[in-house]
Structure 1
Amino acid sequence: MFIKRTDIKSIANKFRIEGKKIVFTNGCFDIIHSGHITYLSKAKELGDVLIVGLNSDDSVTRLKGPGRPVNNENDRVLVLDSLRFVDYVVLFNEDTPYNLIKEIIPDVLVKGGDYTINTIVGADFVSQKGGKVISIPLVEGKSTSGLLEKIRHL
């Protein structure tokens, strides 16, 4: 379910009161591929509720450069929202999800294996609050950049 940024804190608090374990991850998720599906599925297995922070179009352009994202934020929200293991999708416009993480206070913060625990944004905050920080191994040979490169050479 897509949720407005202004509502995410109250949703997270509701789940916390119910004793549900909140898992948070974030990303651009520009062109969804099997690596993303595997990653998000594994993230969901770590708790009861999976919240995905999605970089806005402006944020993706700042991070990835001109021509990105390929798919606009509305399309990316729709695709993520259709995945059965994603419970909530929330857009953020900042370059990092740090402030969003502080609003949600997840029990588990997850990123892909291209990050170490020390380089995951918000790891310090989540650990300080008693949460876990987990890096899920990447699926070999699966990346949006790799897909785009392959398409360019067709």
Structure 2
Amino acid sequence: MISGKRVFTVGVYDLLHIGHVHLFRRASKLGDYLIVAVQESDVVARFKPDANLVYSTEERMYMVKAVRFVDEVVSYRDVNDIVREVDFDIFVVGPDQTHSGFKNAIQWCRDRGKEVVVLPRTEGISSSWLKEQIKNM
């Protein structure tokens, strides 16, 4: 059993970049143990058909786990399910994670006394931007 505050965040993390590392660093400072959930590839492909993932779920989990700020990595299909399955105290989301699934998950957290923290994105970097830069090289 992990003592202290458990922090939890979710995402795709396909092209791991400095913005992701900043997110993990900032999230880890909110508690004592950081859990990151990586969305499974088939779900990403279904809901974001233009995403064109580079890495498999397992590869993305491996890369995220290699970041020193991350203590544990799990995979997930739906944010509404994973918030009910993982033991955590603080749910960290980004300002762009606003679709109905996130709204429901955030409400579920608040109804159970879990803290919800919105961390801003790192300006000037995103996976979409990075893919565009690579394509134009």
Q: TM-score normalized by structure 2?
A: 0.89
Amino acid aligned to 2:46 = R
Whether 1:36 aligns to 2:20 is yes
For the Cα contact (< 8 Å) 1:105–1:129, is it kept in 2?
Answer: no
Change in CA separation of 1:46 and 1:142 when aligned onto 2, cut-off 3 Å: same
Matches within 5 A, 1:82-101: 82-92=66-76, 94=77, 96-101=78-83
CA distance in 2, matches of 1:26, 1:115: 10
User: What fraction of aligned residue pairs are identical, expressed as a percent?
Assistant: 33
Secondary structure of the 1:134 match is strand
Alpha-carbon distance in 2 for matches of 1:39, 1:63: 23
1:57 aligns with 2:41: yes
Runs of 4+ in 1 over 6 A off after TM superposition: none
- The corresponding residue for 2:129 is 146
- The separation in 2 between residues aligned to 1:75 and 1:82, in whole angstroms, is 11
Gaps of 5+ in 1: 1-13
Alpha-carbon separation, structure 2, partners of 1:45 and 1:68: 32
* 1:104 is the counterpart of 2:86: yes
Q: State the alpha-carbon separation in 2 of the partners of residues 129 and 139 from structure 1.
A: 29
Pairs within 5 Å for 1:3-82: 14-15=1-2, 18=3, 20-65=4-49, 68-82=52-66
Unaligned runs of 5+ in 2: none
